[in-house]
A and B are shown apart, each in its own frame.
Chain A
Amino acid sequence: MSGEFPGEFEQMLMLTIMQLGDDAYGARVREQLAQEVGREPSEGALYTTLKRLESKGYVTAHLETAGEERGGRPRRYYRPTDTGLATLRRSRTALLRLWSPIEAELDEA
């Protein structure tokens, strides 16, 4: 597990979940993502990825009952785990290291 990096969409989802804090459930995540990066993922991709994050142990989830606006269905709230945070951090470090020497070059161009 230690050598693994999350994929781009996985990273985006985790970052959004962290931004949302206690309000991170599916529909909200989707909305926030759309607002921040202008990307509207397909439902299939969104939920498959959330499921994958769970199964990889990057996030945990718990159900909370909700009102009529959801047809009586519960909300599933997500929260990053320590493993998830560690992986995210590792990924960030790696990316920053790779970026730093070429950042100046990129700016000039």
Chain B
Amino acid sequence: MSWRDWLPNRSDDPGFTNAMLGDLEELRLRERAKYGRIRAEWRHARRLLSLGRHFGRGSGQGLLGGLLTDLRSSIRRWAATPTLTVVLALSLGLGIGASTAVFSVVDGVLLSPLPYPEADRLIVVEPEFPGQGGRRGPTSPPEYLDLAASEVFENVGVAWYRPGAMTDDGIDPEDVDMAFVSGDFLQTLGVAPLLGRLPAATDDVEGAPKVVLLSHATWQRRYGGDPDIVGRRVAFDDDPHTVIGVMPEDFRMLFPAGTAMPPSLAAWVPWGGVYDAYNRNWRVFTAIGRVSSGADQAQKKLDALAATLRERHGDAYGESGFKWRVDRLDAAVVAPVRGLLGLLFAAAWLVLGVGCANVANLMLARAARDQHEACVRVALGASRWRVLRQALADSALIGGIGVGFGVVLAAAALRVLPALAPADVPRIESVALDWTELGYAGLLSVGVTLVLALLLTRASRATAGGVLRVHRTVASNAAWTRQTLVAAQIALSLVLLVGAGLLLQSFLALAALDPGYEPDGVLTVKLSLVDTHYPYAEPSKIVDFYRDLATRLEDTAGITHAGATSQLPLDGASYSLGPYGFENASGELIESGNAADYRVVTPGLLEAMGTEVVAGRLFTRTDTYETPRVVVIDDQLAKRVWPDEDPVGQQLLLHGGFAEGDERPWAEVVGVVRHLRHHPGTIGTEQIYASHQQTAQRTMTVAMRTDLPVSDALAAVQTAIRELNPIQPMREVRPLNAYLAQALATTRFALDLLVATSLVALVLAVIGTYGIVAFIVSLRVREIGVRMALGASPRRIVGAMATTGARLVAVGVALGIPAAYAFASTIRGLLFEAVATPGIGVLVGSIVLATIGVLAVLVPARRAARLSPVEALRSE
């Protein structure tokens, strides 16, 4: 078939055709002068069409003219059955829309490369401690030097997230997210600055002039996009820094989820510390390297290096089994949401499957009806090609409408999804319906149209004689296919329902979990004290600040308790895990296998959180640097380590981070509290609380228990801070229960989407079941008439019809149960551990589907029974 086919048929009479085309050409030229080019071309095209209709090949019509006729007749035919048309378009549109939207998200978040040059060569390197429960941690400064010297990398750099304050004269102080970076960190990522230069190795040495690289947003917001910003002096933590450059607007720090690095930073500052002067267990940096030989090679070389280091620094690593874990950066960034997106992807495909089954079914039913018409047309002389072409046009039209609807739906979904998605889905804001996704929708449409046309070719198997026996043939030929499709649909819906049920169970279990504290009525605010005013060399200043702040707050009417913690429960993942040791009954030091989640808290914090004291006491203001070191532990640690003894008064060996010098300190357990849920979904980690008055930290989250309105409480804390240090900013003012809600957000998001998709699938399956039974009834009207005329009661008619449908539902559910079990076991990893088996979900899902299925069957069955015998017999 070529374009010539819609021109007049040449082989008939080439001279005639040629002359005719010559006439058209002549007219076209003449009309161009008369009407102008556009109108002349339009008239020319109309003439060609008119000729095509009269002289083209195939059933006496040109293909193009014929297609227009076919399309027009298709529109008429679809318009004649509006319900069917709408159901078909909805089925296709929902399926295509859902899968396109989810594909767009998957593509944007998982498939498209990170926005760094040759991002597939970037790896993230993390120390791991198999001897301490497999905990992982950041890299210490000496370890960074080991990595840099290892020749494993083309480039390797480290970064450390750190909140800071911008304190320029004449501009309001502002608390910002920034990072300390090593001299080669940004070179490793490979992104060039917009203005100026990146930090270099010479900036990252002790005593080097202090410089800063600004983000585009900071440059615009704080310095009004000053074109001469490079070289300008700005103040961080009251310390002047020289601006060396500005990063591009779209630059993001895409780090693995556990590193707590926000994607949008305000500034990058070279660390400038003496790397080899630090303890090997002082862990603050995230290391990212660029390799040329792949992550596996790097892993091998680093394993060898780690072995050497374990030997050389036995005192630092001990029994921890220190090694490096290497992951590709892109995989590590999306790791926490990979499962969730995979689940959604599967769900979207299932919905598309159910939708397509529906479409196929309804089209088959329609084809059966149309076969009669097709036979009549063949009997009247239409060619088989002509009949097939009509079927193609019908499918193309409904396919086009469905795809169009699907794309609109997907575009709408993509507008809404990023807003609903939890904040920890990386890159969700950059997800958009683009050409890839449209191509995807296009491919789907071609596939669907072809399948539909294939189904409809049945209609072209029309013969003149078929006019008389059409109904019977169709009923027997297509019945099996149709019933299989309905059963498959029901099975797929069951899978989705069970998936949604499991996720719901998981969500409820998570939500019902006792957090171990009273999350309501607590306001929190984050503070990072300015370095220059509160240096670590004078920890008493830091201690005093937080103590005075708590005192001022507790003196405010309406605030009962106030304190501060290094990290709130459920406030993101962190590297707060650390080893600890204790002496067993025979005086032996047990270190292996002990890991606890460490938090540093001020007196008053545990009270403000509403933590329940199980034994002993909480911290008081009399625990200071001058008094013996004390800790509070959670009941899990207490139960495991001292199952038969009183834990209060026992001694714990803390991790290296608490050391002053080389000695790790021992601390006395003074109290035991209920276990707090620090991380979503995990129950197991033991917890140790250290006193802030013995381990000063600048960056803390203040929490106050209050019955004041948020605005009043906020005003109180603002006043108190300003009185203590006028330039001290604060950030992230949130109620404590917001962290709880945020921890559930990912599961909640997945749950919402999965429930929505399974409802769509359920609706589609019901439509399918209803449609097929209604169709079977319509085929058997004559039989029903005969049976009723012979005395069958309406009840028996309902029974007979309903049995057919109920059998379908039963087969579907039977097929669905093993599939649902298989699905459940694949998504097990995404579920909260308390959810045991999919059994309940499968049971409930089966019952729901069976009930709805039987209802869908009963409606047309009862209608059959209401037919009067005479009417039924007259129907043919």
Contacts and interface: CB of A to CB of B under 8 A. Distances in A.
A62 B23 CA distance: 15
B34 to A, nearest CB: 12
Given A43-B51, A44-B55, A48-B54, A25 B24 contact: no
A42 B24 CA distance: 12
Interface stretch (A2-10, A12-20, A73-81, A89-97): A73-81
B50 A42 contact: yes
Chain B CB within 10 Å — which of A27, A43, A74 has the most?
Answer: A43
Interface string B6-33: 0010000101101111111111010000
A69 B16 contact: no
B53 interface: yes
B47 interface: yes
Interface in B22-64: 22-27, 29, 47-48, 50-51, 53-55
Chain B CB within 10 Å — which of A30, A44, A48 has the most?
Answer: A44
Interface string B657-691: 00000000000000000000000000000000000
Contacts of B15: 63, 74, 76
Contact of B19 (A30, A43, A69, A74): A74
B599 to A, nearest CB: 87
A43 B25 contact: no
A71 B20 contact: no
Nearest to B48: A43
Nearest to B65: A44
Contacts of A71: 21-22, 25
Given A51-B16, A74-B18, A43 B24 contact: yes
Given A27-B27, A51-B16, A76-B15, A66 B51 contact: no
Contacts of B27: 27, 30
A71 to B, nearest CB: 4
Contact of B20 (A26, A45, A66, A69): A26
A47 interface: yes
Nearest to A54: B16
Contacts of B24: 27, 43
B23 A26 contact: yes
A24 B29 CA distance: 19
A74 B14 CA distance: 11
B23 A25 contact: yes
B11 to A, nearest CB: 15
A27 B50 contact: no
Interface in A51-104: 51, 61, 63, 66, 69-71, 73-76
B22 A43 contact: no
Contacts of A44: 50-51, 53-55
B755 to A, nearest CB: 58
Contacts of B53: 44
A66 B54 contact: no
B521 to A, nearest CB: 83
Interface string B158-176: 0000000000000000000
Contacts of B55: 44, 47-48
Interface residues of B, number: 22
Contacts of A48: 54-55
A44 B53 CA distance: 7
Contact of B47 (A43, A69, A70): A43
B20 A70 contact: no
Contacts of A43: 20, 24, 47-48, 50-51, 54
Contacts of A74: 15, 18-19, 22
Contacts of A75: 19, 22-23
A73 B21 contact: yes
Interface string B627-647: 000000000000000000000
A51 B54 CA distance: 12
Given A63-B15, A76-B16, A47 B22 contact: no
A101 to B, nearest CB: 39
B51 A27 contact: no
Nearest to B29: A69
Interface string B256-298: 0000000000000000000000000000000000000000000
A47 B54 contact: yes
Chain A CB within 10 Å — which of B22, B48, B50 has the most?
Answer: B22
Contacts of A30: 23, 27
B447 to A, nearest CB: 37
B63 to A, nearest CB: 15
Contact of B18 (A25, A45, A51, A73): A73
A74 B20 CA distance: 9
Contact of B25 (A47, A51, A63, A69): A69
A106 B534 CA distance: 117
Nearest to B24: A43
Contacts of A42: 47, 50
Interface string B51-82: 10111000000000000000000000000000
Nearest to A73: B22
A99 to B, nearest CB: 33
Contacts of A25: 19, 23
Nearest to B18: A73
A103 B424 CA distance: 94
Contact of A70 (B16, B22, B51): B22
Given A44-B54, A63-B19, 17 more contacts: A25-B19, A26-B20, A43-B24, A43-B47, A44-B50, A45-B50, A47-B20, A47-B54, A48-B55, A61-B16, A66-B22, A71-B21, A71-B25, A74-B15, A75-B22, A75-B23, A76-B20
14 contacts: A25-B19, A30-B27, A43-B47, A43-B48, A44-B51, A44-B55, A47-B55, A51-B16, A70-B23, A70-B26, A75-B19, A75-B22, A76-B15, A76-B16
Closest 6 CB pairs of A and B: A73-B22, A76-B19, A44-B54, A70-B22, A27-B23, A26-B23
